[in-house]
A and B are shown apart, each in its own frame.
Chain A
Amino acid sequence: MKWPKPKQISARTITVWQRNFSIYKQNWKIASLPPLLEPLLYILAFGVGLSVMVGDLEYGGQKLSYTTFIAPALVSVCIMHNAFFETTYNSFVRMYYQKTFDALLATPLNLEEIILGEMLWAASKSLIAATLMTTVISVCGFFSFPGAFLLLPLAFLGGLLFAASGMICTALVPGIETFNIPIFLGVTPMFLFSGTFFPLQNLPGWAQSLAQLLPLTHLVSLVRGCSLEIWDVGLWLSLLYLLVATLLLLPLAIALMVRRIVV
């Protein structure tokens, strides 16, 4: 396997990002609806329907309403979904059906730049969606500022990590249907068991340890800590996890895609 070298990446990488952004701009009205409406639906369902049964809970020494507890998780899940679905289904369609990568390879761009550009775009998509969602949730009064401003860099970092994970799946799946496997084995369990809808402490010990391996667990901790301004030293560890995982998976995703496409 050929690992990407820094000197292979030039400033042209941004043109791949620009391509995707220009198409996003064409569809921005539709693209921005889910992150605006989704939190309202969840807040309505959980805040009005479920929280009456659950009551308040304790998190990081503070008493939180159930809706406040899950609001940061909604943003975290949105970061994961936007990046992961962009580099799985959307990148696969561009690679396999639309031959977009083929067209780009006939220009001065190289494959390493194309793949990196795709992942940077996916992370940007997470950033855009998370910003929209954070705005709605803040208007509803669930987030604290200035802490919640930290969600912007977190959204991009988390976006990159899930973009790389998605791109690795794209490099490995035989066909587009196979994405179901990483989704029901990875994305869905993370959605449920990363401290999103209930505190991890409710889980048995072994499951708690297992959950600590999941990237979304750390993203949720960070997003919740920052947006609710509940600081804890453990957040540094979560940040370290995200940084290290991203730095490992980004080049791995590029190397695997090169292996898939270059024959």
Chain B
Amino acid sequence: MAILEVESLHKSYASLNAVDGISFAVQPGECFGLLGPNGAGKTTTIRMLYGYTPRDAGRLSLFGLDIDKDLREIKRRIGICQQEDSLDPDLSVRNNLVGYARYFAIPLQLAERRADELLGFFALQNRAADKISILSGGLKRRLMLARALVNQPELLILDEPTTGLDPQSRQLLWDKLVELKRQGLTILLTTHYMEEAERLCDRLVIVDHGQILVEGNPAALVRERVGHTILEIADPDQDVRDFLSRESCRVEDLGRRLLVYLDDGDELFLKLTREVRAEGCLLRPAGLEDLFLQLTGRDLRE
């Protein structure tokens, strides 16, 4: 049985269709990604999952429970790490965890033990007594994540967990998420960082304008839709363009940059660098970002 089932979910604000018929299911133990540019409808979808935002249409069930009937029971069993920092500035780091456990009716002693475990897991023990206001962005995120785990959820929902973090904090958070996944936790996350999705997600959907564009395993999707390797050529001149027009290959012209999608092998690259020019030519593996841009376009959002 799926942990989460979403069926033709709809939500519109005035004339904007924020979420326009999204369906997907998350299986036990997997990490499922919801990817999309800013304003694609990711956060709105997440908020509907825990009843924060009422939906216009569609069916939502978690753990086989209908959200309209058993919202309280559902919320008891999920952990939510919202995008915006909502830590309690009046409480210490540790009391943010202990206090939060109270809302789940967790007895104080158990809550304290759980808080200490989580502080240990996220390397926050030394900051237990600190005020929230003196924490850095990375520490706040870790604490937000720890707080979302205080009720030992069966599904962890993360809305852009690493936005705005430095590389060190991001790596640490990823390590922790991988570890949680290994312990069997089911995770649903939204992100617009492709590296994050590639590293964490077993399956994902790419969403834009409130609709799902593609669904699948990230590596398989890239192989299927983009290819194996990409040849990037900076500042292409006429010689390069002439050379490529003679070869049978898919070229995307970005003006000052050419992207050549290649299935396998490096013959074309070698030929190009030997016969035409080597400078500014780069052969790299195709990634999720290529797929993402291909699907959602290169136009700037917002």
Contacts and interface: CB of A to CB of B under 8 A. Distances in A.
B261 interface: no
B10 to A, nearest CB: 15
A105 B84 CA distance: 13
Interface string A86-109: 000000000000111011111111
Interface stretch (B95-103, B196-204, B243-251): B95-103
Interface residues of B, number: 31
B103 A15 contact: yes
Interface string B153-166: 00000000000000
A102 B82 contact: yes
Contacts of B85: 99
Nearest to B71: A110
Nearest to B50: A106
Nearest to A101: B86
Contact of A98 (B75, B86, B99, B100): B86
B86 A18 contact: no
A107 B90 contact: no
A10 B71 CA distance: 13
B121 interface: no
Contact of A102 (B84, B95, B104, B105): B84
A23 B90 contact: yes
B91 A23 contact: yes
A260 interface: no
Contacts of A109: 103
B76 interface: yes
A12 B105 CA distance: 8
A100 B90 CA distance: 11
A-side interface size class:
20 to 34
A63 interface: no
Interface in A102-120: 102-110
A12 B106 CA distance: 12
B103 A12 contact: yes
A18 B102 contact: yes
Contact of A107 (B13, B84, B104): B104
With a 10 A CB-CB cut-off, give which of A12, A18, A103, A105 has the most chain B CB atoms. Answer: A103
A262 interface: yes
B82 A107 contact: no
B63 to A, nearest CB: 14
Interface string B75-97: 11000101011111111000100
B217 interface: no
B184 interface: no
B86 A99 contact: yes
B86 A19 contact: no
A143 to B, nearest CB: 34
Given A105-B51, A110-B72, 20 more contacts: A10-B72, A12-B103, A19-B99, A22-B95, A23-B91, A99-B85, A100-B86, A100-B88, A103-B82, A103-B87, A103-B147, A105-B52, A106-B52, A106-B75, A107-B103, A107-B104, A107-B151, A108-B73, A108-B75, A108-B103
Interface of A: 10, 12, 15, 18-19, 22-23, 26, 98-100, 102-110, 262-263
State the 8 A-B residue pairs at the shortest beta-carbon distance, nearest first: A99-B86, A107-B103, A103-B86, A106-B80, A23-B90, A108-B72, A108-B75, A102-B86
22 contacts: A15-B102, A19-B99, A22-B91, A22-B99, A98-B86, A99-B84, A99-B85, A102-B52, A102-B86, A103-B82, A103-B147, A104-B103, A105-B52, A106-B80, A106-B82, A107-B75, A107-B100, A107-B104, A108-B75, A108-B103, A108-B104, A263-B13
Interface of B: 13, 50-54, 71-73, 75-76, 80, 82, 84-91, 95, 99-100, 102-105, 147-148, 151
